[in-house]
Chains A and B, each alone.
Chain A
Amino acid sequence: MRPFSYVSAPDVATALRAVADDPGAKFLGGGTNLVDLMRAGIEQPDTVVDITSLPLAEIGERPDGGVRIGALVRNSRLAAHPLIRARYPVLSQAVLAGASAQLRNMATVGGNLLQRTRCPYFYDRTAACNKREPGSGCGAIGGFNRGHAVLGVSGACIAAHPSDMCVALAALDAVVEVESVRGVRRVPMASFHRPPGETPHVETDLSPDELVTAVELPPSPTAANSRYRKVRDRASYAFALVSVAAALEVRDGTVTGVGLALGGVATTPWRARRAEHALLGAPATEESFRRAAEAELAPATGLPGNAFKIEMARRAVTATLRRLLTEGSPA
């Protein structure tokens, strides 16, 4: 690991200034992703600005009935919070499906939003990778790509977005609040992460000096009936091959509300708008669920290593909606 200097920011203003003044500085949340990347030499900040003392670790109800989550809330606390469990069960489940208990105890909401891909070629400095070294090529396209994306890909990069939490946030229409020395702005989840296009190294809408301060969840009656399904290679502690965050509202056999997003299959947390569109107003049947899933996966493009995800995602979407219909949210 390259030597760096460390500062602990006592308040938001200090943190913002520290990063604004130093283009080589990075915020440090739980460190579970950043420190690993520093060890591998992928991230080489000059300065690490520890933000874990900032007063951004609250979860509170908003006047409109929504919930505001501070950027420094640890993943375990988020998952366990009564408001989240009652109103947004899909978020609680998604967070618990990620990493391990030890990692979730450290990981923060802001860090989870900004965690970087697990593409093995990105992690290996001897390999070609457009994300790590723009213009160097993509090791994964002709190599191992079992974990890679089938949606939102480009000829430059097919890396999957690894987060579980973000998939639930996408389904819930969350809004990310960010702050810099220039002020505060709000970015909807749908535009927070960027597809790779020709610039896979640009991953989010954030400028390097912007701090995530909170995530806001709008009130949603649909969200109370929601669940997260993660398909993976072992029972726990593995990234998703495919994951589905789904919220469903059905009246008299007709879908009246739906929020759907996919993980593991896309370069960004994937809001499944086509499927949602196909479902709204349709009868709540296996047939509709399957058709919606097919509509969503229609533009997917697979490689020999990851083409299976297209069918796996169709099935996982259908099965998750079926389960929501018959069993509702998890207990």
Chain B
Amino acid sequence: MTSTPTAPTRTPSPVETGTGRSVGRPLDRVDGTAKTTGAARYAAEHPHPGLAHAALVHAAVTRGRITGIDAAGAEAVPGVLAVITHENAPAMKPPPPVSVLNLSSLASGSSVNYLNTDEVHWNGQPVAVVVAETPEAARHAAGLVRVSYRELPATVDFAAEEGNAVPQKSSALQSGGARKGDAEAALAAAPVSVDLRFTTPPYHHNAIEPHATTAVWDGDRLTVHEGTQNITWLRDHLALRFGVPVRNVRVVAPYVGGAFGGKTMVWAGTVLTVLAARVTGRPVRMALTREGVYRTVGGRTPSAQRVALGARADGTLTALIHTSVTQTGRTGGLPEQATSQSRHLYAAENILLRQNLVELDAVPNTPMRAPGESIGTFALESAVDELACALGLDPIELRMRNEPERNPVDGKRFAHRMLREAYALGAERFGWSGRTPEPGSMRDGGWLVGLGVASAYHPSWQMPANVTVRLSADGSVVVRCGFHEMGMGGATAQAQIAADALGVPFEAVRVEYGDSDLPSGPGAGGSAQTASVAASLLAACEKLKGSLLALARRSGGSPLRGRRPGDLEARDGGLWAGPAGPGETYAAILARAGRDSAEAAVGSDTRVGKVTGQLRFMSKLLRDRRRWVKAACGAHFCEVRVDPDTGEVRVSRWLGVFDVGRVVNAKMVASQLRGGIVMGIGMALSEETLVDPRNGRIMNPGLADYHVPVHADVPPIDVHCLDVPDPTMPLGLLGVGEVSVTGVAAAIANAVRHATGRRVRDLPVTPDKLL
């Protein structure tokens, strides 16, 4: 660890010091029973009287204008209520231009104003919606809509376009390039160097719940059930597109069946379900088919990357060059920050980072678990491993020799960094010293065995969150915040935090979330949700204890009279002056004051409140980013077996040691981290979206042909967290959602290199690449 920031001056509460009774415990998730018994209702499971069903018609050309639509066949299908096309759809306001002052302007997945235009921008773009009494009738009729087009030339081949890439801009939320010294010259002069090209294919999220929307209009009030990762964005976006006040739109999303970034933006299916409900005057549900998700929701961009490293004979890095080309869609998509981790991981004397973009006529790409670092670490960490081979150095040793004291590109301080500790512990637990370095030197029967390592890295973020906390005379606590539960256990974690902050049992806390009627929460993205909500929740709990103390001090007879907040400890359902000192329960305070409950709020959902909140957020963000580099990191250790006859790779053992700051719930954190590793195994070995370079059409839009890992592909995964709080983040939390997917593909490729002597630089590592 390097420098330690100054500690807060007031006495830390038990929740902050981790001495409370709930935080840290591996409690079962509060929604576990509802989910495992099927009682939990997802977006496509809300019954409504008179519900109609919608299905999409997708463009069969890549770019062009619609010249005619023949809906007669579809309209003749019994049960069909409407065939909505650009010829008859009511006007919607176009998606707004993006502005950092209004983060919800980022919400639109694409700038296309669906069914308000005859333009087709990608193969599969929705060009009509059919609404019918049953989903079967809607889907059948959708297949009967005949659309004719005038085709226009389209650019769809990523590999062919690579040479036309242009530099990518950076923003407050995204890092761009960087330059320190003259890396190319240092590379040329380095006694030992590697200069490698890597490619990664497009990937898709494949959340277990395909996107689904249920939309109900009541006059100009709209209720939407949708598995979204960003309730606020969705609400604001729909209000704008349909020209109704924001307060008229309610988004309900208590359960999200996985998302991984794919449900962050607002995509066609959502907007068109709302439109269909408006046109037909009926509640409408649209549950996309898996193919529908592939055709209308973006995935991860493909990439081509160069990593060149120069070193002295002792392994000291003199040059680090990382450049990338990724894609966006012509109508949207967030540029991928593929070189992000290369700003932070190695103390190279000279650094050159550059990110380039091509624009294609494709469904816009969108964030997918660790956008940037997931694919960027593959290239960087593979190259570092190759350099270790070239130097004849152990790959962990090479990393440790280049572990920076300060952020390599700009000398900023690390708020916290324990990569050394992660490797040291991992090496011991994994038995790294038993690895013989020679490629092909380890065998098990007919299998070649390889061991590999790679670093994981993901920046830590904190977003604004509005929270209220109410404590009732019966001792129960309700936390309200419109955050998102996609399976990571947010409600459980926040209940644990509130319980310790107030000194009440975990069971006494109920958390309300997943509804735009609640105080607005942060989006579920950037691994920031838990820390963001925790920050406001802790502040709200402090406020609440303050007002309870004020109540006590005002009323005669309270043992807390004359006490100051700093003297008191929240425990046993009340406030007490030290472990043995006098005090009383919250119930007693409320009873004496003749109150049923007390409440505290942080943040405001008024218009002014929201604008100030966002301004405060942006300025804090910029201030913070100037001072500190904050991130979760970790060390992956893996063992693979390779069949020397066929090139098949099977992962046989995994250990990840992570520095994610404080662990709120060991069980849920381990699940999150394991899930990321499983996703990384897919990315490394089998997943790949096949985009036909002739017309940009996705050719494997389903789980039979897009190969996510199955159980037999996943070995026992051991995860370990260092569990040391970060001093600059709320509760010391660094975020666990994404870090573990980073580095996985490199660890596997490195292990394959060790097993076979072959360096695979193009993902996925399929058997044909090892023949």
- List 6 other contacts, CB 8 Å, given A234-B713, A238-B686: A118-B704, A120-B700, A124-B697, A139-B692, A236-B713, A241-B768
With both chains docked as a complex, state the minimum distance between the C-beta of B696 and any C-beta of chain A, in angstroms: 12
A312: contacting residue among B690, B694, B771, CB under 8 A? B771
Looking across the interface, which residue of chain B has its beta carbon closest to that of A320?
B645
Contact (Cβ within 8 A) A308 B699: no
A-B contact pairs, 26 of them (CB 8 A): A1-B139, A2-B143, A118-B704, A120-B699, A120-B705, A126-B697, A127-B697, A143-B694, A144-B690, A144-B699, A231-B767, A234-B686, A234-B709, A234-B712, A234-B713, A235-B712, A236-B711, A236-B713, A237-B710, A238-B686, A241-B768, A309-B768, A311-B771, A312-B646, A312-B647, A316-B646
Report the separation of the CA atoms of residues A121 and B685 in the bound assembly, to the nearest whole angstrom. Answer: 24
A106 is an interface residue with CB less than 8 A from chain B: no
CB-defined contacts of B697 to chain A, threshold 8 Å: 124, 126-127
With both chains docked as a complex, state the minimum distance between the C-beta of B130 and any C-beta of chain A, in angstroms: 14
A47 is an interface residue with CB less than 8 A from chain B: no
**Residues of A in contact with B, size category:** 20 to 34
Report the separation of the CA atoms of residues A127 and B136 in the bound assembly, to the nearest whole angstrom. Answer: 24
A315 is an interface residue with CB less than 8 A from chain B: yes
With both chains docked as a complex, state the minimum distance between the C-beta of B290 and any C-beta of chain A, in angstroms: 11
Contact (Cβ within 8 A) A143 B710: no
Hey, what's the 0/1 contact readout for A92-122 against B, CB within 8 Å counting as 1?
Answer: 0000000000000000000000000010110
Contact (Cβ within 8 A) A235 B713: yes
Interface residues of A in 214-251 (CB under 8 A from B): 231-238, 241-242
Contact (Cβ within 8 A) A144 B692: yes
Contact (Cβ within 8 A) A235 B710: yes
With both chains docked as a complex, state the minimum distance between the C-beta of A254 and any C-beta of chain B, in angstroms: 24
Looking across the interface, which residue of chain B has its beta carbon closest to that of A3?
B140
Residues of chain A having any CB pair with chain B under 8 Å: 1-3, 41, 118, 120-121, 124, 126-127, 139, 142-144, 146, 231-238, 241-242, 308-309, 311-312, 315-316, 318-319
Contact (Cβ within 8 A) B771 A121: no
Contact (Cβ within 8 A) B692 A236: no
CB-defined contacts of B139 to chain A, threshold 8 Å: 1
Looking across the interface, which residue of chain B has its beta carbon closest to that of A308?
B768
With both chains docked as a complex, state the minimum distance between the C-beta of B560 and any C-beta of chain A, in angstroms: 62
B60 is an interface residue with CB less than 8 A from chain A: yes
**Residues of B in contact with A, size category:** 20 to 34
B648 is an interface residue with CB less than 8 A from chain A: yes
CB-defined contacts of A142 to chain B, threshold 8 Å: 694
CB-defined contacts of B645 to chain A, threshold 8 Å: 315-316, 318-319
B650 is an interface residue with CB less than 8 A from chain A: yes
Report the separation of the CA atoms of residues A316 and B709 in the bound assembly, to the nearest whole angstrom. Answer: 23
B116 is an interface residue with CB less than 8 A from chain A: no
Interface residues of B in 7-35 (CB under 8 A from A): none
B766 is an interface residue with CB less than 8 A from chain A: yes
CB-defined contacts of B710 to chain A, threshold 8 Å: 234-237
Report the separation of the CA atoms of residues A118 and B706 in the bound assembly, to the nearest whole angstrom. Answer: 13
Looking across the interface, which residue of chain A has its beta carbon closest to that of B137?
A3
Report the separation of the CA atoms of residues A144 and B700 in the bound assembly, to the nearest whole angstrom. Answer: 10
B420 is an interface residue with CB less than 8 A from chain A: no
Report the separation of the CA atoms of residues A292 and B380 in the bound assembly, to the nearest whole angstrom. Answer: 44
CB-defined contacts of B766 to chain A, threshold 8 Å: 233
B707 is an interface residue with CB less than 8 A from chain A: yes
Report the separation of the CA atoms of residues A144 and B699 in the bound assembly, to the nearest whole angstrom. Answer: 8
CB-defined contacts of A231 to chain B, threshold 8 Å: 646, 648, 767
Interface residues of B in 686-741 (CB under 8 A from A): 686, 690, 692, 694, 697, 699-700, 704-705, 707, 709-713
Contact (Cβ within 8 A) A312 B768: yes
B646: contacting residue among A1, A234, A235, A319, CB under 8 A? A319
With both chains docked as a complex, state the minimum distance between the C-beta of B651 and any C-beta of chain A, in angstroms: 9
Contact (Cβ within 8 A) B60 A126: yes
Contact status of A143 and B692, CB under 8 A, knowing A2-B140, A233-B686: yes
Report the separation of the CA atoms of residues A229 and B67 in the bound assembly, to the nearest whole angstrom. Answer: 52
With both chains docked as a complex, state the minimum distance between the C-beta of B488 and any C-beta of chain A, in angstroms: 26
Looking across the interface, which residue of chain B has its beta carbon closest to that of A143?
B692
Contact (Cβ within 8 A) A308 B771: yes
A235: contacting residue among B650, B694, B699, CB under 8 A? B650
Contact (Cβ within 8 A) A238 B707: yes
Q: Which 4 A-B pairs have the closest CB atoms?
A: A235-B712, A308-B768, A319-B645, A236-B712
CB-defined contacts of A308 to chain B, threshold 8 Å: 768, 771
Looking across the interface, which residue of chain B has its beta carbon closest to that of A231?
B646
CB-defined contacts of B709 to chain A, threshold 8 Å: 234
